[in-house]
Amino acid sequence: MTISKLLKKAEQVLARCPVCDWCLGRQFASLGYGLSNRMRGNAFKILLLLASTETYLKSRKRGNIRLKQLAEHGMFLPALQFLEKEGITGCAPAKHCSICLGIMERLDEIANLTIQKLKGWEATSILLGSKISADFVEREEQMRSELQIETGEPLKAELNREIGKIVTDLLNIPVDFKSPDIVVVVKIPSLTVELQVNSLFIYGRYRKLIRGIPQTKWPCRECLGKGCTRCEGTGKMYPESVEELIAAPLLEVTQGKGVKFHGAGREDIDACMLGVGRPFVLEILTPRRRNIDLEEITETINRYAQGKVEVNKLRFTNKEMVKFLKGSSATTEKTYKAIAQTEKPLLPEELQKLETIPMPLEIRQRTPQRVLHRRADRVRRKQIYELKVTSKDKDKIILLIRCQGGLYIKEFISGDDNRTTPSITEILGKPTKCIQLDVIDVNLPEEELQL
């Protein structure tokens, strides 16, 4: 485009309606680099003033019209001053821009509102967004199609960038387009500011040292959480859970509104989780504080949940880790310690059959009867890699079982009415049941969890 064509286009915009520097410059946003639209618009107005002054000196009338347009629609003070100097009065500059309705002149005000809103919320990164009422977009699109402008950018893009710049500079917080701690949404034209506070994700491993507590909070079956006589008003099936024991101290320091507990699988309520512990991510919803000392909180949790639950390896993580843990639980190798009891005392040859069974052993397991109410009825094939009898006593044996994730151990022992085969019952030829179960290891090495 030649300079005169560019100027012509800018003049057409000005002739059409009052426009501020920002809105004039935005029509040419794709031209040049490292410039704000305000600078672009201002440059056009200066050039048009220079050109109009020259016209004015040649032909007072023609120059006069262009100067008036600059003063009135352009709200350009130097044009007004020039006209006044020449003794031409009666110019009435527009009150505000017809495209943005004056919003672009209020960027500092919007930035201040945003900063006020962010007070009391810790963030290591933010992202600024806006919701602009449709008439703003329509007005600009209408003009662009009338004047065939193809070099513009959306008002929204400019607002987000310019407000974002002021806010991040003032607060000294970087912008993060991918996963900001807080998304600030400015509504135009109401100039209200809303915050979308993203969750804080903390990874760790937990050990469950006692039986009888579930992994996650379990709503009361009778009242579904409202509180009734069965649950003594707690709304829960069990007074405590691993989730709540870990979450309580964290909710206090982060001042979050709630939590979601994401475990790499789960153990039965009556099983302990020992060894190095089971990986989990605790998601804290709308936290006010994020900058917390994880070593200190580890100690606090372990003191608070003493004798019941212990955590270790706490560190900050992200949503991806939740997905990874969820996806891994079906395949992750697990090691269990089970105490099995037979109906009648075991004979040495029966025990020998168990000890000499070749490994790995494939188990075909139909969904256990006890979980049929919440899981689809299908057959799973799972591998046992290692099966050891570590001690025996008449009708009791202690088994160490290293297997693929997702194998139901209690049913592997009992056979679950032939739904699991082979089973310990089947191998021994004697009805056998699991009377105690502990998870010794969830074999997800820490190195594989560095997302």
Min dist. Cβ of residue 299 to Zn ion (A): 34
The answer to whether 440 contacts Zn ion (rule: CB under 5 A) is no
HEC readout, 177-200: CCCCCEEEEEEECCCEEEEEECCE
The answer to whether 387 contacts Zn ion (rule: CB under 5 A) is no
Q: Which residues contact 59 (CB under 8 A, 6 or more apart)?
A: none
- Just list the catalytic residues: 268
Based on CB atoms, which residue is closest to Zn ion, 95 or 187? 95
The answer to whether 104 contacts Zn ion (rule: CB under 5 A) is yes
Min dist. Cβ of residue 2 to Zn ion (A): 26
Q: Which stretch binds Zn ion (CB under 5 A): 79-87, 103-111, 179-187, 243-251?
A: 103-111
Min dist. Cβ of residue 97 to Zn ion (A): 3
Residue among 6, 228, 285, 400 that touches Zn ion (CB under 5 A): 228
Min dist. Cβ of residue 102 to Zn ion (A): 7
For 437, the 3-state DSSP assignment is strand
Residue among 70, 197, 220, 325 that touches Zn ion (CB under 5 A): 220
Min dist. Cβ of residue 136 to Zn ion (A): 10
The answer to whether 24 contacts Zn ion (rule: CB under 5 A) is no
Q: Which amino acid is at 207?
A: R
Q: Which stretch binds Zn ion (CB under 5 A): 16-24, 82-90, 142-150, 169-177?
A: 16-24
Based on CB atoms, which residue is closest to Zn ion, 35 or 228? 228
The answer to whether 223 contacts Zn ion (rule: CB under 5 A) is yes
Min dist. Cβ of residue 112 to Zn ion (A): 19
**DSSP H or E stretch at residue 128:** strand 126-132
Based on CB atoms, which residue is closest to Zn ion, 48 or 440? 48
Site size for Zn ion, by CB under 5 A?
Answer: 12
The answer to whether 23 contacts Zn ion (rule: CB under 5 A) is yes
Residue among 13, 48, 80, 100 that touches Zn ion (CB under 5 A): 100
The answer to whether 231 contacts Zn ion (rule: CB under 5 A) is yes
Q: Which stretch binds Zn ion (CB under 5 A): 146-154, 229-237, 265-273, 368-376?
A: 229-237
b vs e for 126-159, b when ≥16 Cβ sit within 10 Å of the residue's Cβ?
bbbbbebeeebeebbeebeeeeebebbeebeebb
Query: Which of 179, 182, 185 has its CA nearest to residue 321?
Result: 179
On the CB side of 123, how many CA atoms lie within 13 Å of its CA? 30
Residue among 70, 80, 97, 346 that touches Zn ion (CB under 5 A): 97
Based on CB atoms, which residue is closest to Zn ion, 29 or 175? 29
Q: Which residues contact 163 (CB under 8 A, 6 or more apart)?
A: 107, 110, 111, 114, 128, 130, 186
DSSP for 280-333, please give it.
Answer: EEEEEES-S-----HHHHHHHHHHHTTTTEEEEEEEEE-HHHHHHHHHHTTTS-
Based on CB atoms, which residue is closest to Zn ion, 158 or 441? 158
Min dist. Cβ of residue 279 to Zn ion (A): 31
The answer to whether 110 contacts Zn ion (rule: CB under 5 A) is no
421: left (phi over 0), alpha (psi -120 to 50) or beta: beta
Query: Which of 210, 229, 207, 208 has its CA nearest to residue 220?
Result: 229
The answer to whether 132 contacts Zn ion (rule: CB under 5 A) is no
Tokens of 441: 């290891």
On the CB side of 88, how many CA atoms lie within 13 Å of its CA? 17
Q: Do the beta carbons of residue 278 and residue 448 sit within 8 Å?
A: no
Q: Which stretch binds Zn ion (CB under 5 A): 30-38, 89-97, 179-187, 250-258?
A: 89-97
Tokens of 58: 């040649």
**Cβ-based neighbour number of residue 54 at 10 Å:** 10
CA 197 from chain center: how many Å? 9
Q: Which stretch binds Zn ion (CB under 5 A): 40-48, 203-211, 230-238, 263-271?
A: 230-238
Min dist. Cβ of residue 231 to Zn ion (A): 3
CA distance 409 to 397: 14
Q: Which amino acid is at 107?
A: L
Q: Which stretch binds Zn ion (CB under 5 A): 100-108, 310-318, 350-358, 420-428?
A: 100-108
Provide the binding-site residues for Zn ion, judged by CB under 5 A: 20, 23, 97, 99-100, 104, 220, 222-223, 228, 230-231
